[in-house]
Amino acid sequence: MGLPPGYTARVLRTISSSKASRHIRAALRRKNEFDPVLERGARYDTTRIPVREVNREWWHNALSGRRAHLRIGIYYEIFQQLLQCSPYTPIGNFTVTYPPIGYKQSNAESADHPAEVEQMPVLLGNTILPKSAAVQPNVDIDWSLFNTEYASVFLTNPDGYLIDTQYEILHWLVTNIPRGKSLVDGQVMKEYMRPLPFYGTGLHRFVFFLIEHNKPITYTHTQASSPSPPISKFEERIFQTSKFLSDNQIVPSECVSFRLFQSMWDTSVSTYLIEELKIAEPYYKFDVPLTRGQIKHNKIREVRSNKFRIK
């Protein structure tokens, strides 16, 4: 969870001996154990870890943060299915956090200065239920890692279009965010839509992408050649990440980073579809394959019924 001041990741990487590294970590651990401030904070549950600073330090360490993204991208088929490119190590860094359930942003708050509440972070494949992702998340872009004029953020579900896996469902798209600004200064092409994994479809991947670019980009609705999705409202959100990038002449390996979480059905999905969208909920059920004993029993019953059938 990060290192104390004076012992940065760069200092530890310069230590050639693993034994010396273990001694330093043991000394830091003993020091923290006898620190009265940390002890008091742990006892009264008041210790707060600066997640953004820890994430930024972890990301700048190429041996841990960026290589972790490379492995996760390969495992979840981000490069192969969505970006359709060779695996690469992302450069940009950004954090995505969801506010707690039932939280409503006040007029005094802004995207640059959110309230001090417990946020649920989007990491690299953690599970977040739809009820916890019902409201628009907070996105913090680290502009110090690139020199482009604009940035764009979008959220896509590669498992949402059940009829054809080459298409996705676009849940959010904010383009052309000026350098140094927040998402409120960008162009909202698609309003945020909460995750809607249907009953019986298992875990869905929800991927946040950060694009860095120098020229303003445009968005054109993707027309699917396959049949319509089970919900007609999803037709206007059919999307292809690779086509969107190629239309804007964006090379993924140079300027695209990602975060992702997984989500599966809960009761809030049914409530949202019925009460908000006023539509029936799609229901999928897995057909359990028959065992060898069941297949044999069915064949015997079929033979007997044919043998003693009255003609």
What's the pLDDT tens digit per position in 270-308?
A: 999 999 888 888 888 877 788 888 888 888 888 888 776
Q: Which residues contact 12 (CB under 8 A, 6 or more apart)?
A: 3, 21, 24
- Asked whether residue 54 carries a pLDDT value surpassing 90, the answer given is no
Query: Which range is most confident: 5-14, 24-33, 260-269?
Result: 260-269
Confidence of residue 89 (pLDDT cuts 50, 70, 90): confident
Among 122, 80, 83, 79, smallest CA distance to 99 is for 122
Residues 90-114, mean pLDDT to the nearest whole number: 70
22-26, 225-229, 234-238: least confidently modelled range = 225-229
Q: Specify the pLDDT at position 212.
A: 93
CA distance 274 to 237: 19
Measure Cα distances from 26 to 7, 95, 174, 267, 281 in Å. Answer: 13, 31, 46, 47, 55
Contact 281, 230 (CB under 8 A): no
Average pLDDT in the 187-195 region? 95
Task: Say yes or no to pLDDT of 68 above 50.
Answer: yes
Beta bridge partners of 175: 187
The predicted pLDDT at position 220 comes to 84
> What was the pLDDT predicted at 230?
55
Instruction: Please report the pLDDT score of residue 30 as a whole number.
Output: 87
Q: Which CATH class is domain 49-102+117-298?
A: alpha beta
Task: Please check the confidence at residue 2 and state whether its pLDDT lies above 50.
Answer: no
Q: What is the pLDDT of residue 22?
A: 81
Distance CA 218, CA 187 (A): 10
Mean pLDDT of the chain: 83
Average pLDDT on 58-83 reads 83
C-alpha to C-alpha distance for 24 and 17, rounded to whole angstroms: 11
**Average pLDDT, integer, range 36-63:** 77
Higher pLDDT, 239 or 234: 239
The share of the chain scoring above pLDDT 90, in percent, equals 44
Per-residue pLDDT band for 16 (boundaries 50, 70, 90) equals: very low
Lowest mean pLDDT among 13-17, 110-114, 137-141: 13-17
What's the pLDDT score for residue 282?
A: 85
- Name the segment(s) of the chain with CATH classification 3.90.280.10: 49-102+117-298
Query: Taking a C-beta distance cutoff of 8 angstroms, is the pair 197, 130 a contact?
Result: yes
Provide the token pair at 262.
């997984």
pLDDT band at 136 (very low <50, low <70, confident <90, very high): very high
Mean pLDDT, to the nearest integer, of 28-32?
Answer: 86
Higher pLDDT, 223 or 248: 248
Is 90 exceeded by the pLDDT of residue 112?
A: no
